[in-house]
Amino acid sequence: MPEVVLQTHGAGYDCILSLTDLSVREGEHVALIGPNGAGKSTLLKLLAGLISPTEGEIFLEGTLLSTLSRPAVAREIAWLSQTDDVTPEFIVEDYIALGRLPFRGTVQAQQDTAALQTAIQYFRVEPFLKRSIGSLSGGERQRVMLARCLAQTPKILLLDEPTNHLDFAARAELLSLLRDLPLTIVAVLHDLSFVPNFAPRALLMRDGKIILDGASSEVLLSSELGHAFGLNVHPVQLDDGSTTFVFRPRGA
Ligand SMILES: Nc1ncnc2c1ncn2[C@@H]1O[C@H](COP(=O)(O)OP(=O)(O)OP(=O)(O)O)[C@@H](O)[C@H]1O
């Protein structure tokens, strides 16, 4: 069985988050779902070591996260913020190169060129490397943000709403690129219809707690999901045998 790479032991954050134990194994793709204000971003920031738990402990590959330096964490974990506040004038290739900063002065810096090339090719951002971030469309911009994450050559990607502001086709394209990455990924997803295809496992959060942790198809059909969102969930079988989900307000 793959090793546990991220683990929380009763970690909480003020009155915003109180957690049961959570383990994420190497290579797992996990969707973090729940209504606004449930605590998804706070959990992701804790896992990324950007904020420290006010109770409990978080471990990265068996080491207490709080004992690791920022560059050491950044060599293992790349985090995509929900709100990117990148200066619009930033040139795309310079921005992606920021992903290599944690390796400055280490032997892994020898891989800078190869890592950047791989990230640029994977997220197909070559055509706008010389452009400014501010000139990109929403979909192009998100691919650039993710190329910066991939340039970090992380083991773990923590993504806060990676499909924010994207249209349906761009969401599908981006999530299929992410799905094919052989990395551990925990991603906050608001569009629940993409969850089964992207992540075999889903964590449902409500009121600062993980209330369900299981196979995404089961979590999406659970009565807890309906309660958390105030929705009815209807599975729809597609021609190719896969299942998608239609969500309707209760009573509709
Ligand atoms: N620094 C903070 N100080 C006070 N309250 C905070 C802080 N950060 C988050 N909160 C509150 O904690 C709750 C959880 O916030 P969080 O951003 O983690 O939720 P979320 O599930 O990611 O929400 P959304 O889906 O809207 O992004 C919210 O009520 C939020 O207002």
| pLDDT score recorded for residue 245 | 75
Mutate to test the pocket of ligand 1, among 13, 42, 210 (most ligand atoms within 8 A of CB): 42
Top-confidence residue, 105 or 242:
105
Residue nearest to atom 10 of ligand 1 (CA): 16
Instruction: Looking at the CA of residue 38, tell me the nearest atom of ligand 1.
Output: 21
What pLDDT is recorded for position 243?
72
Closest ligand 1 atom to Cα of 34: 21
Most distant CA pair in the chain, distance = 60
Distance between Cα 81 and ligand 1 center (Å) = 13
Percent of the chain with pLDDT over 90: 72
| Rounded average pLDDT over 173-196 | 92
Per-residue pLDDT, 214: 96
| pLDDT tens-digit readout, 211-222 | 999 999 899 888
Say whether pLDDT at 136 is over 80.
Answer: yes
Range 1-70+156-170+183-252 has CATH code 3.40.50.300: yes
Average pLDDT over residues 58-69: 95
Q: How far apart are the first and last CA of the chain?
A: 44
Which of 14-18, 42-46, 234-238 has the largest mean confidence? Answer: 42-46
In 3D space, the residue among 124, 97, 93 whose CA is nearest the CA of residue 109 turns out to be: 97
Q: What pLDDT band is residue 226 in, cutting at 50, 70 and 90? A: confident
From the list 75, 43, 65, 44, the residue with the least C-alpha distance to 155 is 75
Query: CB under 6 Å to ligand 1: residues?
Result: 16, 34, 36-42, 82
Closest C-alpha among 25, 43, 14, 26 to residue 210: 43
Binning pLDDT at 50, 70 and 90, where does residue 252 land? low
> What pLDDT is recorded for position 251?
67
16 CA distance to ligand 1 middle (Å): 7
Best mutation site among 40, 43, 50, 160 for ligand 1 pocket (most ligand atoms within 8 Å of CB): 40
The per-residue pLDDT for range 86-108, each reduced to its tens digit, is 889 999 999 999 999 999 999 99
Looking at per-residue pLDDT, the higher value among 238 and 222 belongs to 222
**Domain boundary assignment for the chain:** 1-70+156-170+183-252, 77-153
